[in-house]
Amino acid sequence: MSENKNDSDNPVLTFEGKTYLIKELSDDIKETIKGLQIAETQLKMHEDTLKLLSISRNSLANQLKEKLKKLE
């Protein structure tokens, strides 16, 4: 799903290879589009959070490895 803005007065939705003028869609469909956009944004945010957690975990594991080497 992508929302193309050919001009600000006639935004277009492209979904599954078809295009739709958003202003011609029902309010129910517009609300569904908004919900899908929110879900997409949340997914991206959580994917970024997972990447940061993975980096942090790797860093902590490396710190632990270095500290344990000092005990040998």
Domain-wise residue ranges, the chain: 2-71
The model's confidence at residue 2, banded by pLDDT at 50, 70 and 90, is low
* pTM, two decimal places: 0.69
pLDDT at 3: 59
Cα separation, 67 vs 59, in Å, equals: 12
pLDDT bin (cut points 50, 70, 90) of residue 72 is: confident
**What tens digit of pLDDT does each residue of 25-62 get?**
999 999 999 999 999 999 999 999 999 999 999 999 99
pLDDT for 5 beyond 60: no
CA distance 62 to 43: 29
